[in-house]
Amino acid sequence: WGLFQDLADPELYVETFTVATWQEYLRQHHERGTAGDLEHEERARALTIGEEGPRVRHLLHGYIRKTP
């Protein structure tokens, strides 16, 4: 987990989560949700500026495996 502030736009924060696999991401977002989770998400969305809400993007990390 990470939270970053954009130095060019101090009102912009980027929150990141890293999981090992796409399957783990799907499990976290589609199988683990509880009523408490939904309440926390609604409270967090109430803190956003504008009517859009947070923008969600999915990024993949790639690496080059060195061969001996």
**pLDDT tens-digit series, residues 20-60:** 888 888 888 777 677 888 888 888 888 887 777 777 888 77
pLDDT at res. 5: 95
Tell me the CB-side half-sphere exposure of residue 25, using CA atoms within 13 A.
11
CA distance 67 to 64: 9
